[in-house]
């Protein structure tokens, strides 16, 4: 098989001449192709068959122990001008970057199959979708890309159709696992060329180029140029007892509960009353203004590449149901009867994520960033609206992160500009999803710090640009599920109980509750958060919603210093908004808010 698109055919031939594979395989995305790939990987040991009675169609992949997370220090955005990449990215001049990584690709696929993967990010027929082609020598990548994207013949047909009007519009992604040598590992992005080159890693975020590389770093650049948003956000639908559904997009840093919120199960009382939750996506959201002025969103992905640890029957039973069949697990542990295992599940591990007999002295049985790859359609709460070409209308945008203190349970921004400041100021404790120290507070604007493909100052300005005449923008909120009491325990129960907070947000969107105005935004007024059947002491709720003025003055000062790091490209409107909130905190408190 070849392509009718000259630009694609020419590029494939150029890559083959450089990498010198033993053979070339154009992926069609068929079931037969997937079965053949699985059999091949079982024979080579790239996959291990799991217990087919308990987990039919499920397999385990173990990656190299040096290759278990995103490597942000080896991830580059390569724009012609360094200033365009911004201080939020590692930069390398495009000519230097191509030379450095192309030298690694020279002959890298000798003796291997070169796979050509045409894929579509988003529904095949959606005008919001964008296409790409990944070339790789990893059958594991092919299998995962089949689950995570609309991959194969239909995607190729769309690429060829679009190519008739604009030759070469697809995103070009070149990947080789190379020798899996950490000293010979780079992930290079060329936004101005709509291309990606990744070498030396087989880990999902570095190797599944449709995911973070295309759907965020390259797409964010495309989105700015074309007038839309590519965001690190889940999309969830909340249906009330009257049958009305509000769609919410929410941004949290990796491993901070996006998947759990996207698959939320309402508390029993809410279920009895007829509340339902619909899953559109758990990680990435592309939004575009519609003709009616509202923002409409699609999930560009077709699957979940979820963090396994923390996924349990108590935290996310929908995820457990989703991954009970036809799933690829990566770096989890095994039980004696070959079932996948990680901390939080019942049972006992006998083999750890590296294939060694389990010994607690070696650390956790499953790697903290171990993963599952599964089709989104297997989720019990999956919504067919995820396939709608026009996307779903967004009622609210939510920002959040892990903050043990200061940040209240929920705040509503006063307007769009204040909401952009909230997103820009987001902070969170780091997690195991990226290499480096865990538990360190860092600013992570819109949860996009590792993923924004251009200068953050320009990115904030792009967000602000949506506030224009005729726009009917979503309301913006900030949540903090992770606030702790003096005993170090979480104050809010989280998980399904988070629906109580989402219900208040929807009531605010519909104008049904007044809220309590404070200098940092609107909080729930007394009695507005419905706490029926929830044993939450009054003093705990007060602590969750407390606004520490002195602490917030210090926070606003720190936010100001952070914003200044973006120099002359920081929008003046954002700096003025930071100063407005800071000054409001210095005013005498009203008696009602005391």
pLDDT at 265 over 50: yes
Task: Provide the percentage of residues in the chain whose pLDDT is more than 90.
Answer: 91
Q: With CA atoms as reference, report the closest residue to 329 among 296, 374, 284, 362.
A: 374
User: What local confidence, expressed as pLDDT, does residue 437 receive?
Assistant: 66
Strands (E), 502-570: 516-518, 521-523
What pLDDT score does 428 carry? 78
Confidence of residue 140 (pLDDT cuts 50, 70, 90): very high
Tokens of 553: 């003055």
- CA atoms of 91 and 81, how far apart (whole Å): 9
| 90 annotated as belonging to a binding site for a ligand | no
> Does position 591 have pLDDT exceeding 50, yes or no?
no
Flag whether 480 is marked binding: no
Specify whether the CB–CB gap between 201 and 209 falls below 8 A.
no
**Which of 72-81, 112-121, 380-389, 434-443 shows the lowest mean pLDDT across its residues?**
434-443
Q: How many CA atoms lie within 13 A of 147 on its CB side?
A: 27
- Residue 70 counted as an annotated binding residue: yes
Is 495 assigned to a binding site? yes
485 is in an annotated binding site: no
Q: Is the pLDDT of residue 250 over 80?
A: yes
Q: Provide the 10 A C-beta neighbour count for residue 67.
A: 19
Q: What is the mean pLDDT of residues 273-300?
A: 98
- 400 labeled binding residue: no
522 is in an annotated binding site: no
Q: Where are the alpha helices (DSSP H) in 346-482?
A: 416-425, 456-464
**Is 58 part of any known ligand binding site?**
no
Phi and psi, residue 371, nearest 5°: -135, 165
Once rounded to an integer, what is the mean pLDDT over residues 395-411?
Answer: 95
Mean pLDDT, all residues of the chain: 95
Domain ranges of the chain: 6-46+69-227, 231-302+384-546, 304-378
pLDDT at 480: 96
* pLDDT band at residue 164 using 50, 70 and 90 as cut-offs: confident
**Residue 394 and residue 246 in contact, taking contact as beta carbons nearer than 8 Å:** no
Q: Which residues contact 113 (CB under 8 A, 6 or more apart)?
A: 21, 22, 23, 24, 25, 137, 139
What distance in Å separates the CA atoms of residue 145 and residue 152, rounded to the nearest whole number? 10
Alpha helices (runs of H) in 172-281, residue ranges in sequence order: 204-207, 219-226, 258-262, 268-273
The whole-number pLDDT of residue 253 equals 83
State residue 428 phi and psi, 5-degree precision: -155, 155
Let me know how long the chain is: 594
Q: Which of 78, 120, 256, 452 is catalytic?
A: 256
The response to whether 514 counts as a known ligand-binding position is no
- What's the pLDDT score for residue 593? 41
* Distance between CA atoms of residues 334 and 344, nearest Å: 13
Q: What is the 3-state secondary structure (H, E, C) of 446-466?
A: HHCCCCCCCCHHHHHHHHHCC
Position 589 scores a pLDDT of: 72
pLDDT tens digits, 146-158? 999 999 999 999 9
The span from the CA of 133 to the CA of 136, in Å, is: 10
Beta bridge partners of 394: 247
pLDDT of residue 566: 97
* Token couple for 130: 């964008």
CB atoms within 10 A of CB 34: 19
Look at residue 297 and give its three-state secondary structure. strand
Q: What are the residues whose beta carbons fall under 8 Å from the beta carbon of 10, sequence distance 6 or more?
A: none
Q: What is the four-CA torsion angle of 498, 503, 506, 510, rounded to 10 degrees?
A: -170
pLDDT for 405 equals 92
pLDDT at residue 314, rounded to an integer: 87
The pLDDT assigned to 439 comes to 63
Phi and psi at 149, nearest 5°, equal: -135, 170
Q: What's the rounded mean pLDDT across residues 463-469?
A: 97
pLDDT digits (tens, 9 = 90+) for 40-97: 999 999 999 999 999 999 999 999 999 998 898 999 999 999 999 999 999 999 999 9
- Asked if residue 118 lies in contact with residue 152, where contact means CB atoms within 8 angstroms, the answer is yes
- Non-local (6+) Cβ contacts of 421 within 8 A are 413, 559, 574, 577, 578, 581
Q: What whole-number distance in Å separates Cα of residue 253 and Cα of residue 448?
A: 8
pLDDT score of 592 more than 60: no
Q: Is residue 432 pLDDT above 80, yes or no? A: no
Evaluate if residue 474 carries a pLDDT over 70. Answer: yes
pLDDT of residue 408: 98
The per-residue pLDDT for 434 is 60
Question: What is the third-level CATH fold of 304-378?
Answer: Phosphoenolpyruvate Carboxykinase; domain 2 (2.170.8)
Q: What is the pLDDT of residue 590?
A: 59
Q: 441: Cβ–Cβ under 8 A, 6 or more apart, which residues? A: 403, 427, 428, 429, 430
Choosing among 1.20.1250.20, 1.10.1510.10, 3.90.228.20, 3.30.160.100, the CATH entry for 231-302+384-546 is: 3.90.228.20
For residue 451, the tally of other CB atoms under 10 A from its CB is: 27
Where would I find the H helices in 196-251?
Answer: 204-207, 219-226
Q: Is 211 annotated as a binding-site member?
A: no
Please answer whether residues 587 and 519 qualify as being in contact, where contact means their C-beta atoms are separated by less than 8 angstroms: yes
Tell me what pLDDT residue 442 has.
85
Instruction: Say whether 120 is catalytic.
Output: no
Burial (CB < 10 A; 0-12, 13-18, 19+), residue 473, is middle
pLDDT at 430: 64
* DSSP letter string, 105-164: HTTTTTTSEEEEEEEEES-TT-TT-EEEEEEES-HHHHHHHHHHSEESHHHHHHHHHHHH
Give the span between the Cα atoms of 204 and 57, in whole angstroms. 20
Interatomic CA distance for residues 289 and 473, integer angstroms: 9
258 is in an annotated binding site: yes
CATH, range 6-46+69-227: 3.40.449.10
Q: Find out whether 369 is annotated in a ligand binding site.
A: yes
Annotated ligand binding at 283? The verdict is yes
Mean pLDDT of 574-583: 98
254 labeled binding residue? yes
273-296 burial code (b ≥16 CB/10 A, e <16): eebbbbbbbbbbbbbbbeeeebbb
C-alpha distances in Å from residue 94, one per residue of 72, 175, 241: 18, 17, 54
- Whole-prediction pTM: 0.96
Same fold, 231-302+384-546 and 304-378: no
Per-residue pLDDT of 556-569, as tens digits, reads 999 999 999 999 99
Q: What is the pLDDT of residue 594?
A: 37
Residue 1 — pLDDT band, cuts 50, 70, 90? low
């Amino acid at each position: 098989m070849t392509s009718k698109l000259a630009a694609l055919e020419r590029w494939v031939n150029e890559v083959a001449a450089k990498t010198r594979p033993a053979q070339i395989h154009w992926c069609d995305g068929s079931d037969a192709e997937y079965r053949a790939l699985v059999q091949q990987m079982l024979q080579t040991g790239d996959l291990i068959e799991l217990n087919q009675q308990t987990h039919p169609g499920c397999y385990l992949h173990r990656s190299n122990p040096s290759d278990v997370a995103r490597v942000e220090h080896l991830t580059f955005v390569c724009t012609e001008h360094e200033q365009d990449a911004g201080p939020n990215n590692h930069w390398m001049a495009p000519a230097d970057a191509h030379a450095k990584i192309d030298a690694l690709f020279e002959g890298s696929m000798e003796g291997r199959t070169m796979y050509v993967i045409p894929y579509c990010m988003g529904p095949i027929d959606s005008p919001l979708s964008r296409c790409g082609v990944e070339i790789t020598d990893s059958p594991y990548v092919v299998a995962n890309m089949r689950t995570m994207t609309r991959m194969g013949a239909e995607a190729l047909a769309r690429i060829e159709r679009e190519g008739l009007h604009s030759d070469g519009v697809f995103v070009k992604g070149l990947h080789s696992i190379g020798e899996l040598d950490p000293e010979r590992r780079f992930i290079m992005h060329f936004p101005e060329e709509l291309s990606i080159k990744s070498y030396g890693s087989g880990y999902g975020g570095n190797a599944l180029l449709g995911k973070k590389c295309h759907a965020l770093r390259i797409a964010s650049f495309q989105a700015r140029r074309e007038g839309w948003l590519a965001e690190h956000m889940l999309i969830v639908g909340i249906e009330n007892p009257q049958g009305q559904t509000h769609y919410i997009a929410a941004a949290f840093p990796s491993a901070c509960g996006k998947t759990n919120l996207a698959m939320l199960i309402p508390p029993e009382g809410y279920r009895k009353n007829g509340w339902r939750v619909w899953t559109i996506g758990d990680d990435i959201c592309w939004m575009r203004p519609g003709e009616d002025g509202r923002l409409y969103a699609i999930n560009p992905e077709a699957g979940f590449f979820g963090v396994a640890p923390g996924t349990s029957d108590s935290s996310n039973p929908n995820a457990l149901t989703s991954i009970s069949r036809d799933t690829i697990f990566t770096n989890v542990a095994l039980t004696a009867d070959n079932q996948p295992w990680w901390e939080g599940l019942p049972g006992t591990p006998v083999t750890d994520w590296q294939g060694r007999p389990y010994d607690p002295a070696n650390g956790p049985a499953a790697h903290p960033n171990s993963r599952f790859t599964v089709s989104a359609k297997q989720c019990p709460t999956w919504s067919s609206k995820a396939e709608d070409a026009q996307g779903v209308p967004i009622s609210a945008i939510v920002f959040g992160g892990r903050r043990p203190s200061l940040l209240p349970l929920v705040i509503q921004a006063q307007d769009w500009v204040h909401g952009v400041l909230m997103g820009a100021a987001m902070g969170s404790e780091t997690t195991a999803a990226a290499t480096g120290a865990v538990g360190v507070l860092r600013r992570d604007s819109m949860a996009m710090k590792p993923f924004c493909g251009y200068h953050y100052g320009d990115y904030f300005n792009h967000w602000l640009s949506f506030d224009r005449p005729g726009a009917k923008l979503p309301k913006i909120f900030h949540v903090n599920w992770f606030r702790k009491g003096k005993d170090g325990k979480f104050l809010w129960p989280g998980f399904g109980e988070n629906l109580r907070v989402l219900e208040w947000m929807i009531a605010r969107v519909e104008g049904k509750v007044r809220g309590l105005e404070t200098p940092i935004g609107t909080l729930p007024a007394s009695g507005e958060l419905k706490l029926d059947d929830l044993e939450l002491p009054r003093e705990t709720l007060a602590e969750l919603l407390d606004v520490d003025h002195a602490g917030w003055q210090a926070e606003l000062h720190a936010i100001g210093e952070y914003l200044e790091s973006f120099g002359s490209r920081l929008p003046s409107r954002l700096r003025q908004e930071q100063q407005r909130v800071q000054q409001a905190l210095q005013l005498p408190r009203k008696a009602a808010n005391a």
